[in-house]
Structure formats: C-alpha cells, structure tokens
C-alpha cells in the first residue's frame, strides 16, 4: 500500500467572471504522506485558501488534479474535515456545543449511542466537557475554535485541513491550540494540512513547511522541519535549530513576496 495520502499534481485555478480572469494557482505539485503534518505558508493572496478549497472538493480546479488515497477528489470526500479561520460562522449559534459537534455524525448516519460516545470523547480531548450544553455565543473565541476542532476530530477524518484556524485568537490561546493540534495529531495519526501566515507557527507545528510563491502560485520551497517530535512552547522556540529554521522560512517568504520563483531560490 502506498504511503501517500494526498497528491496534488499540476493543480491550476483561474477564477473567471466579471469579464476578467484571476490566475490564482498556476502549477502546484506536492505529496503528503499518510499521518504527516504539513504546514503551508506564503504571501497573502498566494492562493492558500484557494488550494485548500480545491483539496476539500469545495472548488473546481481549472487544471491538474487532487487525489486522496488514490481517488480523484471531485466533491467533498467523506474522509476529510476542514477547520476554517472563521469559527464564529462555522458553528450554528442555535445549537449547543454538543449538537454542533454531533451534526456531521448524524449526517454520516451513526446511531445515537455511537454519536454520543464520539462527541463525549472529542469534547474531552479538547477540554470542553463542562461546556457541552452551552451555546457557542456563550464561549470565548478560543473555546469556539476548540468546538470546531472537536467537531472535526469526532468525525474521525483521515485528512484534516486547517485554514489559518488560529488567526483570530489571542497569543496565549493560540499557543494552547497549537499544542492541542499537535497532541491530537500524534494520538490520532491523522494527516494534517495546516495553512498559516505565521512563520513561527508553521515551524513549531509542522514536519514540513511548503512555502508558496507569489501569484500565480507554485511551490517555492519544501522545508523539512527536523525538530524533535516532542515540542515545547518555551524550549523548542528558544532552540538554535528553531531559530535557524524560522530564519530560513522567513527568508523564503520574503523572496516569495519579491516575486522570486523556484529556480531563483538556492536549495538548502
Ligand atoms: P491566500 O489564502 O493565500 O491569501 P486566496 O486563495 O484567498 O489567497 O486568493 C488568491 C487570489 O485569488 C487572490 O488574488 C484573490 O483575490 C483571488 N480570489 C480568491 N477568491 C476569488 C474569487 N471567488 N473570485 C475571484 N478571485 C478570487
């Protein structure tokens, strides 16, 4: 059995309409292994959200293909879950925390007892057992984002896509949520693709960081993060190895902003 979970090959996306086209993605090719945690960074407008939406089957590509476990993605695949930045809009305000997490399981057709067990386990994993009967609007931003994560986890996806999920929470909450995602990823063995504009976050979380070029987008660099698996907000971030990696990714993003393409960036 192949170890590749996700394959993006020659992906292109041009938005059409309003009389002119926007070429968001020109030619993106990369693979993500089963159980890998890969971060994606790049200049604003580089097409990161467009890429995730194509991978999630929410947007039709103009060219190339996305394959999940060897099957072409043409609509939202059953084994995939997505967590967006806008958690406020992704939760249903009239449903309790428990019902929000349960909804996709209902759609999946799981029996009531099975649903209840999975919801309880997911809420426990994100530390929200006490808030199960609250409504989203009664919770802080960080707690709402944890509900969104619990909903994705309860679904037991094989691939979890996250699109700048922590952009709108404060720094301390963000650090907690980063550790939560690493912990869940290690425990569940799920494949994670994590888009962020925060270079430190990409290095702290990822096993690899894909740096995207400016529009029209290609992969500018694929940086292996050879930090130990056990990461710690203080120790890891203050290590020399972390500093070197963040400098490398920072420089790559800067050169992406200046319009550099892969052939002009030295390997290393
Ligand atoms: P990022 O997530 O990296 O900031 P996006 O994927 O949101 O980038 O956008 C990439 C490019 O595509 C931008 O130039 C953006 O303006 C354009 N774009 C995004 N969505 C649409 C759309 N629905 N119609 C036309 N252009 C779009």
- CATH number of the CATH domain containing 267: 3.40.50.300
For 37-54, what is the mean pLDDT? 94
Q: How confident is the model at residue 266 (pLDDT cuts 50, 70, 90)?
A: low
DSSP class of residue 56?
T
Give me the chain's average pLDDT, please. Answer: 92
- Classify residue 123 as exposed, middle or buried by CB count within 10 Å of its CB (0-12, 13-18, 19+): buried
Cα(131) to ligand 1 centroid in Å equals 36
Ligand 1 nearest-atom number relative to CA 52: 6
pLDDT tens digits along 139-159: 998 899 999 999 998 998 999
Residues of the chain with pLDDT > 90, as a percent, come to 75
Please tell me the total count of domains within the chain. 2
Q: How confident is the model at residue 1 (pLDDT cuts 50, 70, 90)?
A: low
Query: What is the rounded distance in angstroms from the CA atom of residue 6 to the CA atom of residue 28?
Result: 13
CA atoms within 13 A on the CB side of 252: 29
> Is the pLDDT reported for residue 185 higher than 90?
yes
Give yes or no: residues 257 and 183 share one domain. Answer: yes
Give yes or no: residues 38 and 95 share one domain. Answer: no
Cα(58) to ligand 1 centroid in Å equals 14
Give yes or no: residues 137 and 118 share one domain. Answer: yes
Give yes or no: residues 207 and 251 share one domain. Answer: yes
Give yes or no: residues 75 and 182 share one domain. Answer: yes
Protein residue with least CA distance to atom 21, ligand 1: 15
Cα(166) to ligand 1 centroid in Å equals 20
What is the reported pLDDT for 263? 73
Give yes or no: residues 75 and 15 share one domain. Answer: yes
Ligand 1 nearest-atom number relative to CA 44: 4
Residues within 6 Å of ligand 1 by CB: 15, 22, 24, 42, 44-50, 215
Q: How confident is the model at residue 268 (pLDDT cuts 50, 70, 90)?
A: low
Q: Quote the distance between the C-alpha of residue 189 and its chain's center.
A: 15
Task: Identify the residue whose tokens are 């929410």.
Answer: 58
Give yes or no: residues 145 and 106 share one domain. Answer: yes
For 179-191, what is the mean pLDDT? 92
Contact 150, 102 (CB under 8 A): no
Q: How confident is the model at residue 67 (pLDDT cuts 50, 70, 90)?
A: very high
Q: How confident is the model at residue 88 (pLDDT cuts 50, 70, 90)?
A: low
Protein residue with least CA distance to atom 27, ligand 1: 15
Give yes or no: residues 182 and 69 share one domain. Answer: yes
Give yes or no: residues 229 and 246 share one domain. Answer: yes
Give yes or no: residues 207 and 233 share one domain. Answer: yes
Give yes or no: residues 263 and 185 share one domain. Answer: yes
Final residue belonging to a domain, choices 126, 156, 186: 156
Instruction: Print the domain residue range for 18.
Output: 1-79+159-168+177-268
Give yes or no: residues 163 and 256 share one domain. Answer: yes
């Amino acid at each position: 059995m192949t170890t590749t979970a996700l394959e993006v090959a020659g992906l292109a996306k041009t938005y059409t309409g309003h009389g002119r086209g926007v070429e968001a993605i020109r030619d993106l090719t990369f693979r993500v292994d089963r159980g890998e945690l890969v971060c994606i960074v790049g200049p604003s407008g580089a097409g990161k959200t467009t890429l995730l939406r194509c991978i999630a089957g929410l947007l039709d590509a103009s060219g190339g293909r996305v394959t999940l476990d060897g099957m072409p993605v043409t609509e939202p695949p059953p084994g995939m879950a997505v967590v967006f930045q806008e958690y406020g809009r992704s939760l249903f305000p009239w449903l309790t925390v428990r019902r929000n997490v349960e909804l996709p399981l209902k759609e999946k057709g799981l029996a009531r007892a099975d649903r209840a067990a999975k919801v309880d386990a997911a809420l426990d994993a994100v530390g929200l057992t006490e808030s199960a009967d609250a409504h989203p609007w009664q919770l802080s931003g960080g707690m709402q984002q944890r509900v969104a994560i619990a909903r994705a986890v309860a679904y037991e996806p094989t691939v979890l896509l996250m699109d700048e999920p922590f952009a709108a929470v404060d720094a301390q909450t963000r650090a907690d949520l980063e550790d939560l995602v690493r912990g869940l990823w290690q425990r569940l063995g799920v494949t994670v693709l994590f888009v962020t504009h925060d270079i430190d976050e990409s290095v702290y979380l990822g096993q690899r960081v894909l740096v995207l070029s400016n529009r029209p987008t290609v992969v500018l660099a694929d940086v292996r993060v050879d930090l130990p698996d056990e990461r710690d907000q203080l120790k890891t971030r203050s290590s020399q190895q972390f500093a070197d990696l963040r400098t490398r990714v920072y420089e790559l993003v800067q050169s992406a902003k200046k319009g550099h393409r892969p052939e002009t960036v030295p390997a290393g």
